[in-house]
Chains A and B, each alone.
Chain A
Amino acid sequence: MATVARPEPVRIPPTYSEITHDIAATLGRPGRIYYVLLGFVITVMLIGAAALLWQVRYGLGVAGYRPPVMWGVYITTFVFWVGIAHSGTLVSAILYLFRSAWRTAVYRTAEVMTVFAVMTAGLFPLIHVGRIWYAYWLIPYPNQRQLWVNFKSPLLWDVFAVTTYFTVSTCFLIVGLIPDIAAARDVATGWRKKLYAITALAWRGTDQQWRHYTRAYLYLAALATPLVLSVHSVVSWDFAVSIVPGWHTTIFAPYFVAGAIYSGCALVITLLVPLRKMFKLERYIHEDHFENLAKLLLLTGMLVGYAYVVEYFIAWYSGNDAERSSFYFRAFGQYWWATWTMIICNGFLPLFLWFKTIRRSIPAMFLLSLFINLGMWFERFVIISVSLAHEYEPYAMGHYTPSWVDWSILAGSFGWFFMWFLLFAKNFPMVSIAEVKEIIPMPRKERAHA
């Protein structure tokens, strides 16, 4: 990824004080649109919450489950959000290690998205269990039940992977924020000044602070990198280690990781386009960044498409009846529409990214990113629910249709995510002040000396 393009030299880079000023400007008093948006997403979230309460009161039966499909929209959405969470750390950590300059303008958005996506994802294992009030039994702590947890269960791997991922990416986000908050503090006024004065943790950018800071940031990046690749692998093993035809596949880990980064980048684009418009950040986030993201999309999109092909090939090549029948059912069974949505959105649409004009056209990218998000949700749905609908026991096959509860909770999760995102965007810099400055050389007296 080191090969991704640098910004073109023709642009006049902004000066440091311009940067500080422009970005600090995004933290001003919000307008009416902002409040309307916030109000809307909170309402959606509350609808989801109501549906959840209903479900807790009367039991999971109010959701559309139909045996043998025991996992439906909830687990699908869990995997969807965990996947979203991946591009964040990818952009911030992996691209940091690769020293790619273009990340500086977008990585904050990506990281914020990551943290809130994991927060959202983390809710779904709880929502989907039958006895949410006992969900804490999955935590290994000395308890009056005198019982430990079963570390052989993939679900427990999830508990560890997701909590770890949440903690580490949160640390990463906060550490990255400190210098920027300090910068904001020094230009802000009123209550914001007080807020930043506290949250900046007495940062002044002294030589000692930078000395430890740069190191710590490096190691965090170094730790986060394998984590990114591991978390979605672990999630994929929830399925891969089972014996369900359509789940039990060795390709799952790389397949899921690619898919995760794919969907993550797509959502980053979806978020950046309105963001740069509203915050007037065109000068900092421009076509080059979208083109680079587009290239990431293209790469991961091709990987995902390849995985689709391989899945079907292996299903045929393995000669395993159950496997073949399961994949035939996917493509031509009752759920054909879901399968083809996924294949078209994730397999064919990214091919447009071969064209530079598309990559550099922001409306096109925005549209494309929406389709990819849709496709990726359906990919998880197809993998999870459709495989379950067509297992070994022919008599016990069944067709599952989600109920209003499933859909409201799904919608609610988006409300929850965007609520946090909006609240954050207006109160903390969505573009890293320090790092954007970093890639612009400081002024010098003698040019020659350089």
Chain B
Amino acid sequence: MKERPGGVLAAFRHVDAAAHAIRQLKELGYRDFTVYSPVPNFEIMSAVGHPVSPVRVWTLVGGLTGCLSGYAMTMWMSYDYPLVVGGKALGSVPPYIIIMFELTILLGALSTLAGLIVHTFRTHRAAAYDPRFTNDLIGIFVPCPPERRTAVQQVLQQAGATEVRFEQ
């Protein structure tokens, strides 16, 4: 991981305060700050205002691939070495639908997982952290050069941060 940049790390106890702080920071033109929260929270997410996660595309593509490959595999294998059983058609689609369905789900789920991993890596930012953020505190880390820290600190404290500290 690359060298962690310096900046201001603030901890909030109240969700509305944190959301307020986030809005403030955005007004001041800060984009690359990181918000920590123990649980996903609508108020904070809307304050941060990310677009919808692209993971869904992965799900869709994965699912479709599974469905088609299911059909292709079953049919091709049935005719590659034709063996008659029970007087039935060599390639009989109805039973194959089950295989297609299962592969749809399987590949859909796996590619969703892949998507999750890929995108979390992509959007990962090196940032300061405090263990309490997974417990009960909301954290905001604003990377900024030393000369601007006081300004940021003020914004955060006014918003209602319980504590604020500088990170080298």
Contact = CB atoms under 8 A, between A and B. Distances in A.
B15 A444 contact: yes
A366 B123 CA distance: 47
Contacts of B96: 151
Contacts of B7: none
A227 interface: yes
A250 interface: no
A17 B55 contact: no
Given A206-B125, A223-B112, A444-B15, A212 B135 contact: no
A237 B99 CA distance: 13
Interface in A220-237: 220, 223-224, 226-227, 230, 234, 237
A215 B132 contact: no
A403 interface: no
B59 A207 contact: no
A216 B102 contact: no
A-side binding surface: helix, strand, loop or mixed? helix
A156 to B, nearest CB: 8
Contacts of B14: 442-445
A215 B102 contact: no
A99 interface: no
Interface residues of B, number: 65
Contact of A171 (B40, B102, B109): B109
A434 B108 CA distance: 25
B81 A216 contact: no
A361 interface: no
A20 B101 CA distance: 40
Given A212-B123, A213-B116, A148 B34 contact: no
B59 A446 contact: no
Contacts of A140: 73, 77
B117 to A, nearest CB: 8
A208 B124 contact: yes
B98 A182 contact: no
Interface string A198-220: 00001111111111111110011
B120 A445 contact: no
A16 B136 contact: yes
Interface in B62-94: 63, 73-74, 77-78, 80-81, 83, 85-86, 88, 92
Contacts of A277: none
A186 interface: yes
A216 B77 CA distance: 34
Contacts of A27: none
B112 A149 contact: no
A183 B37 CA distance: 11
A187 B74 CA distance: 51
Max chain B C-beta neighbours (<10 A), residue from A147, A179, A211 = A211
A47 to B, nearest CB: 34
Given A171-B109, A171-B113, A442-B15, A160 B136 contact: no
Contacts of B73: 140
A208 B123 contact: yes
B16 interface: yes
A175 interface: yes
Contacts of B80: 148
A161 B102 contact: yes
B133 interface: yes
A51 to B, nearest CB: 32
B38 A205 contact: yes
> Which residue, B73, B83, B131, has most C-beta atoms of chain A within 10 A?
B131
A204 B109 contact: no
B1 to A, nearest CB: 9
B105 interface: yes
Interface in A129-150: 140, 146-150
Listed residue (B85, B113, B132) with the most chain A CB atoms within 10 angstroms of its CB: B113
B152 interface: no
A216 B55 contact: yes
A182 B39 CA distance: 12
A437 interface: yes
A321 interface: no
Query: Among A140, A168, A187, which residue has the most Cβ atoms of chain B within 10 A?
Result: A168
Interface in A3-46: 15-17, 20
Contacts of B83: 150
Contact of B134 (A146, A163, A183, A435): A183
A148 B45 CA distance: 51
A263 B127 CA distance: 47
Contacts of A446: 16
B109 A167 contact: yes
A140 B99 CA distance: 12
B53 A149 contact: no
Contacts of A437: 38-39
B110 A210 contact: no
Nearest to B74: A151
Nearest 7 Cβ contacts at the A-B interface? A16-B136, A186-B131, A148-B77, A215-B53, A208-B123, A442-B15, A216-B116
Given A151-B77, A204-B36, A211-B53, 18 more contacts: A148-B80, A152-B88, A160-B99, A161-B102, A164-B103, A186-B132, A186-B133, A202-B124, A205-B36, A205-B37, A206-B36, A207-B45, A219-B112, A226-B101, A226-B105, A230-B105, A442-B15, A445-B17
23 contacts: A17-B136, A146-B81, A151-B77, A151-B99, A160-B106, A164-B102, A168-B106, A175-B113, A179-B39, A179-B134, A185-B131, A186-B133, A207-B34, A207-B50, A208-B124, A208-B125, A209-B120, A223-B59, A223-B105, A230-B105, A437-B39, A444-B14, A444-B15
